[in-house]
Amino acid sequence: MLLEGLRSVHAAHRFVATDKLTLDHVSVRRGALHHAQRMLSLGLRAGDRVALWAHPHAMTAVGLVGNLYAGLVTVPLNPSVGTRELAHVLGDSSPSLVLGEAPPGRAHALPSEELSLGYATEGEREDLGDAHPALVLYTSGTTGAPKGAVLTRGNIARNLQALASAWDWTREDSLLHALPLFHVHGLVLGLLGPLSLGCSVTIQQRFEPEAVATALRSYATMLFGVPTMYHRLAEKSVEDKRFARALGRPRLLVSGSAPLGLREHQRIADAAGRAVHERYGLTETLINTAVRAGEAPRPGWVGRALDGVELRLVDDQRRPAGPGEGSLGEVCVRGPSVFQGYLGRDEATLAARDPDGWFFTGDLGCLAEDGNLRVVGRRSTDLIKTGGFKVGAGEVEECLRAHPSVREAAVLGLPDEDLGERIAAWVVLEPGGHATGDELVAHVADALGPQKRPRQVRFVDALPRNAMGKVVKATLKAPT
Ligand code: MLC
Ligand code: AMP
């Protein structure tokens, strides 16, 4: 059962979003039961979709759990989503209702409800099986607008069980993170994890290394972060011994959502005398592999398959590739946490998952004889991971082209010490067109969201093209 842990928790187990409200798990459960009753009294029924502004706030937990109790399918909304992307997500997922306070400038025409903290002791639908959808998470592809990945209750429950076993994660733990609550990492692992296992969680509203160190010093036993966060923590640890000691304190530092560089592993090992455990996942599959709590991490490797997960490598024709550290192939995954499909996009679902249930991740990796996986890159350069956020080059290019002064645009991810990759755009202006780089950055931030904004823009007279007229991105160089 997905939220089994919440039924038997006691008030010592805290849910904290470091702002206005601290709740214990008993209050989250009662508030959520109240919310579920309210949703059902409004005429919503199991399976209906409901969007939820995923503010880093305790009420997000109440809304999410209440929706699960009522069997509603939550579409979390990024509070800093751009106007155009918001219209896409709401149009594509057609929720019956939008829950929570809309951020300034993000009005919409759908019915909406504020979340409030009520009290109830019943309201949970007990009859919903593992195949019932729980979440629709929007995720970018190489081209086009993001697609909604439908995750079921079973997908989530099995994944959290497997992670609990991999990390010896129990209700005695106290998790700390500062991740956003609209993606797998912060939402499924960082929020539903503690709520289903019954352990304490503190969600910091924004990532500040000092605030993280303070929490690590006093109570946190586990930290979840993306590599950009570990990079910033490593920087601080190198210059400040007190800081390094704080990083050495929790029993587990977990990194995921993008590769953690060898340099960061080494710097944290040197400064704090400890290792970082990596795990590897995708929105569509949840977490696939993890370095186990009792094992010494091998930098560059993301661990073995979780319980119930099968892994294999395939070549360009999707034929199984040979095993061994020397063999490289696309990573494929099969198991109980592979998603139900993309909302309303059967063709895209069929392209990503074969009839035998294998999901093609697009990641390139090698599998050691002992089952450990190393992720070495991606099949397409048109998917960018920046600060742990996945961004499609195509969506940014399309957005730039929609600007009246822009004639053509090409977007690439360039290596970046802090963000892993930074979004860089090459732009050809319309004859007589006037736009500055800052204006175009603001244009993308406003339309799609600040996470998708280019960090650098270079104006060129023409884009390099091959004989077929296709832009040759490989020849584009980093702006100087
Ligand atoms: C800056 N800002 C702008 C702007 N420039 N806003 C509008 N226009 C502009 N031109 C604002 C931003 O909105 C933000 O405001 C603030 O400035 C800083 O933004 P930033 O530059 O994006 O922050 P940054 O320091 O780069 O953030 C680093 C980070 C962040 C690590 C904290 O990238 C992050 O939270 N990453 C986590 C991503 C994640 O969770 N991925 C998981 C995917 S699931 P404000 O208001 O926001 O402060 C997955 C599966 C798996 O991958 O395996 O886990
Ligand atoms: P998303 O679609 O945002 O869920 O991102 C999934 C992608 O993040 C994967 O396909 C990988 O490219 C990347 N990723 C996640 N975890 C890791 C990791 N530990 N190491 C390398 N890449 C990772």
Q: Domain residues of the chain, as ranges?
A: 4-197, 387-475
Instruction: Give the number of whichever ligand sits closest to the CA of residue 287.
Output: 1
Task: Tell me how many degrees the CA angle 164-166-172 measures, rounded to the nearest 5.
Answer: 40
Question: Residue 22 and residue 27: Cα distance in Å, rounded?
Answer: 10
Q: Confidence class of residue 14 from pLDDT cuts 50, 70 and 90?
A: confident
Of 320-329, 347-356, 398-407, the least confident: 320-329
User: What is the distance in A from the centroid of ligand 2 to the CA of 185?
Assistant: 10
Model confidence pLDDT, tens digit, residues 269-311: 999 999 999 999 999 999 999 999 999 999 999 999 999 999 9
353 lines ligand 2 (CB under 6 A): no
Mean pLDDT of the chain: 95
Residue pair 231/416 in contact (Cβ under 8 Å)? The answer is no
pLDDT at 8 over 90: no
228 lines ligand 1 (CB under 6 A): yes
Pick the atom of ligand 2 nearest to 361's CA.
10
For ligand 1, atom 47, the nearest C-alpha belongs to 80
Residue 9 pLDDT: 66
User: What is the distance in A from the centroid of ligand 1 to the CA of 85?
Assistant: 16
Percent of the chain with pLDDT over 70: 98
pLDDT at 479 over 60: no
pLDDT at 1 over 90: no
User: What is the distance in A from the centroid of ligand 1 to the CA of 325?
Assistant: 35
451 lines ligand 1 (CB under 6 A): yes
Residue 324 pLDDT: 61
DSSP H helical ranges for 258-367: 262-272, 346-352
Question: Residue 329 and residue 315: Cα distance in Å, rounded?
Answer: 5
**Rg (the chain; Cα; Å):** 22
DSSP H helical ranges for 135-226: 153-167, 193-197, 209-218
186 lines ligand 1 (CB under 6 A): yes
Average pLDDT over residues 313-336: 87
Question: Residue 351 and residue 188: Cα distance in Å, rounded?
Answer: 25
215: left (phi over 0), alpha (psi -120 to 50) or beta: alpha
Neighbours of 84 (CB within 10 A): 18
Residue 13 pLDDT: 74
Fold match between 4-197 and 387-475? no
Q: Which residues pair with 423 in a beta bridge?
A: 413
For ligand 2, atom 15, the nearest C-alpha belongs to 257
What sign does the CA torsion over 340, 344, 346, 352 have?
Answer: negative
For ligand 2, atom 9, the nearest C-alpha belongs to 282
Residue 32 pLDDT: 96
Residue pair 242/269 in contact (Cβ under 8 Å)? The answer is no
The residue to mutate among 262, 364, 390, 395, having the most atoms of ligand 2 within 8 angstroms of its beta carbon, is 390
Helix (H, G, I), strand (E, B) or coil at 155: helix
| Contact partners, residue 452, CB within 8 Å, separation at least 6 | 82, 85, 389, 391, 395, 396, 399, 423, 444, 445
User: What is the distance in A from the centroid of ligand 2 to the CA of 474?
Assistant: 22
Pick the atom of ligand 1 nearest to 280's CA.
53
pLDDT at 480 over 70: no
390 lines ligand 2 (CB under 6 A): yes
Pick the atom of ligand 1 nearest to 451's CA.
22
> How far, rounded to the nearest angstrom, does the alpha carbon of residue 320 sit from its chain's CA centroid?
28
What order do you get walking across the sheet with 373-378 strand by strand? 310-314, 329-334, 359-367, 373-378
Residue 325 pLDDT: 60
170 lines ligand 1 (CB under 6 A): no
pLDDT at 10 over 90: no
Buried b (16+ CB within 10 A) or exposed e, 191-222: bbbbbbbbbbbbbbeebebebbbebbeeebbb
Model confidence pLDDT, tens digit, residues 94-110: 999 999 999 999 989 99
> Tokens 């099969």 label which residue?
334
142 lines ligand 2 (CB under 6 A): no
**Element counts in the chain: helices (H) and strands (E):** 13, 25
Backbone angles phi, psi at 418, to 5 degrees: -90, -50
List strand residue ranges (DSSP E) for 304-348, in order.
Answer: 304-305, 310-314, 329-334, 341-342
Pick the atom of ligand 1 nearest to 258's CA.
52
pLDDT at 251 over 60: yes
Average pLDDT over residues 39-58: 96
Model confidence pLDDT, tens digit, residues 420-451: 999 999 999 999 999 999 999 999 999 999 99
For ligand 2, atom 12, the nearest C-alpha belongs to 363
439 lines ligand 1 (CB under 6 A): no
Q: Confidence class of residue 326 from pLDDT cuts 50, 70 and 90?
A: low
- Tell me the whole-structure pTM to 2 decimals: 0.97
- Report the Cα–Cα distance between both ends of the chain, in Å, rounded: 54
180 lines ligand 1 (CB under 6 A): yes
Residue 323 pLDDT: 62
The residue to mutate among 288, 306, 375, 386, having the most atoms of ligand 2 within 8 angstroms of its beta carbon, is 375
By DSSP bridging, strand 359-367 and strand 373-378 are: antiparallel
Q: What is the token pair recorded at 211? A: 């605030």
Model confidence pLDDT, tens digit, residues 133-180: 999 999 999 989 999 999 999 999 999 999 999 999 999 999 999 999
Task: Give CATH superfamily name and number for 387-475.
Answer: ANL, C-terminal domain (3.30.300.30)
Average pLDDT over residues 122-128: 89
User: What is the distance in A from the centroid of ligand 1 to the CA of 397?
Assistant: 20
By DSSP bridging, strand 286-290 and strand 304-305 are: antiparallel
Of 184-188, 194-198, 309-313, 341-345, the least confident: 194-198
Residue 16 pLDDT: 81
Task: Give CATH superfamily name and number for 4-197.
Answer: ANL, N-terminal domain (3.40.50.12780)
pLDDT at 416 over 80: yes
